[in-house]
Chains A and B, each alone.
Chain A
Amino acid sequence: MQPAHEQSFWSRYVFSTDHKVIGLQYLFTGLFMGVVGAFLAYVFRMQLAFPGEHVPLYGVVTPLQYNALVTNHGAIMIFWVAMPILIAGLGNFLIPLMIGCDDMVFPRLNRLSYQIFFVSTVLILVSLFVPGGGFGGAWTAYPPLSASAQFNHTPWGAPLWLIAVALEFVAFLLGGINFITTVMNARAPGMGPMQIPIFVWMVVIASIVFMASVGPLVAGAIMLLFDQLLGTHFYDPKAGGDPLLWQHLFWFFGHPEVYVVLLPALGVVAEVITVFSRKKLFAYKTILYTSFATGVISFFVWAHHQFVAGIDPRMAHLFTITTLIISIPIAEMTFAFIATLYGGSIELRTPMLWALAFIAEFLIGGVTGIFLGANATDIYLHDSYFVVAHFHYTFFPIAIIAGFAALTFWFPKMFGRHMNETLGKIHFWGTIIPFNLIFIPLFVLGAAGEHRRIYSYEHFSQLFTPGLQNLRVLATVALVVMLLFQFVFFYNFIRSLFWGEKAEANPWRANTLEWAAPSPPPHGNFAEMPTVYRGPYEYSVPGRPVDFWPQHLPQ
């Protein structure tokens, strides 16, 4: 590898092995795919509000296209937005900095992970434009619809979609191994397990949960791919296969997956609220052990997605109990966050607004999950818009709210400049208020019995409740307003990138090690590798002249 000053554009920015460059590659890809996923949502919501009408910037939506839009919106938001931003992007950029070393332990493997991820991104986008169009079998891809082009009408789209998802899994498996080994082995001297910032722990736990849960689905995906491409019958009951097997393999992964994205988001919130309340994190050990417990329990709840699929009813009872139990550790962490804020010296800067919004909105998401987790009530609510509203009240805080909290918080460190605070606040309110106006109507629609994944009620008049069309229109209008406010963010982001006020190393007066490096950190991160002398949350320690105490300062 050539010395830095001799490196070409390609080796410095495209084929770099530096964790910061790779982290930003993931972040920018995630942001771009967020725009794509948002556009897909815009189109199908326009169809729902104004059925059969021409959608500006798209055209008329056909039933097959509607299915493809809904399918790819879901898959893209989870696999190509939430995971790359929260885990691969932030994790890659921050972990070596936060644990006080100069890079990930396997930089070339890191680069390979991104390259595989990049290929998966290209494939999913290409799958939208192939003959027959993009796969429309929902992100859950149940066979026989997903297994046979005879049913799904997307002979190219379906396998491409599946291969894209499988490659994304491989990229994150490799990345996860990098994260886990780096945090286990490469920590700065003095950083024992209890001095590791919670965000770092969360990424590690998420990587382990991901690894353990995705294995059976990789096997299942190979089986589904063979059914699609070779005409085998793994999931065909006529040949002795079982479509329910796919459901179980999928959800055995699918449920832990939501905690894979939730835990890093909670980590981001923890980092932000401690800095902006100038207060120690309440019950660090409890939060840590609760996170482990959540990770473990998440493996015992999966069939609550299958309550009405025809599973053994006795299993349904079991999964109801475990699902209700898992709400306890999450609630506990919410309480710990509130206790962290209580009595703190709150600074309502933009990152803090996002972090507070996370707690409030995720609370709604979590509480509404209780209705769905009980098998009896789920019989009514399954496949209704209630489910959609519930998981958006969880996923939106996870991916979008925590994502913006992280971006506004670590922007100075990543780019050496400040974002505009006023624009940040406008963007915040312009996102949060419309967000609630999109999904509260959906709770009402779902409780009224409205089915999800239906393109139009034209042929299903018995499912259509006419008085509720206003709610559908309200949700769509709110979405359009929310999307327009995202221009404020992009304007702020790009303008600050080039012309923002220059940032010093530690503008937020925080403790964790990344703030000890220059903004932005050079190759190698620290001029002299730091040693750690205390935990990450020593804020407002009595008897000290300043209200923070960086981890790396001897006194």
Chain B
Amino acid sequence: MAAHAETQTSHPNYVKVYIALLVLFAISVLGPLLGHLWITLITAFGIAVVKATLVAAYFMHLNIERRYIWYLLLTMLAFMGLLFAGVAPDVLAKSGQNWYHARTVQPPPPLHH
């Protein structure tokens, strides 16, 4: 298959990548335990982005694939950002020119474990 020439040159040590993923994962679980909003965002979500990028680059071999495949996948993600940007002003709105959100949604009663 045509893949041979590309992949025989650079073989990342997959186990090393895996260990990096595990370390990052541990941080992402511990970070939110500190309870601080920005630390949670950076550790839980920021690290999620880093981990997904590592999986994409090294396990899926996107870093040696044709560049436009990266662009394709990132464009799809960008469209999701566009969707969010276009819809969030409506779904998240709590009041408008002639209305306000009456907050009729009651949280369900707490349960005993």
What residues of chain A have their CB less than 8 Å away from a CB belonging to chain B?
Answer: 212-213, 215-216, 237-240, 242, 244-245, 248-249, 252, 299-300, 302-303, 310-315
Contacts and interface: CB of A to CB of B under 8 A. Distances in A.
Contacts, number: 45
Instruction: Give the secondary structure class of B's interface.
Output: helix
Given A212-B76, A238-B104, A248 B97 contact: no
Nearest to A239: B105
Nearest to A302: B86
Interface string B60-82: 00000000000000011001101
B96 interface: yes
Given A299-B79, A299-B82, A240 B90 contact: no
Contacts of B91: 242, 244-245, 248
A212 B72 CA distance: 10
22 contacts: A212-B75, A213-B79, A216-B80, A216-B83, A238-B104, A239-B105, A240-B105, A242-B90, A242-B91, A248-B90, A299-B79, A299-B82, A300-B82, A302-B86, A303-B86, A310-B96, A311-B90, A312-B89, A312-B93, A312-B96, A313-B97, A315-B90
B87 interface: yes
B83 A252 contact: yes
B97 to A, nearest CB: 7
A191 B93 CA distance: 52
B89 A212 contact: no
Contacts of A248: 83, 86-87, 90-91
B97 A315 contact: no
A242 B101 CA distance: 12
A310 B95 CA distance: 12
Nearest to A303: B86
A326 B90 CA distance: 24
Contacts of B79: 212-213, 299
A160 B109 CA distance: 35
B105 A238 contact: yes
A215 B75 CA distance: 14
A225 B25 CA distance: 35
Contacts of A312: 89-90, 93, 96
Contacts of A252: 83, 86-87
Contacts of B104: 237-238
B101 to A, nearest CB: 10
Contacts of A303: 86
B83 A315 contact: no
A237 B96 CA distance: 16
Given A242-B91, A311-B89, 20 more contacts: A212-B79, A215-B76, A216-B83, A237-B104, A238-B105, A240-B105, A244-B91, A245-B91, A248-B86, A248-B90, A248-B91, A299-B82, A300-B82, A310-B90, A311-B90, A312-B90, A312-B93, A312-B96, A313-B97, A315-B89
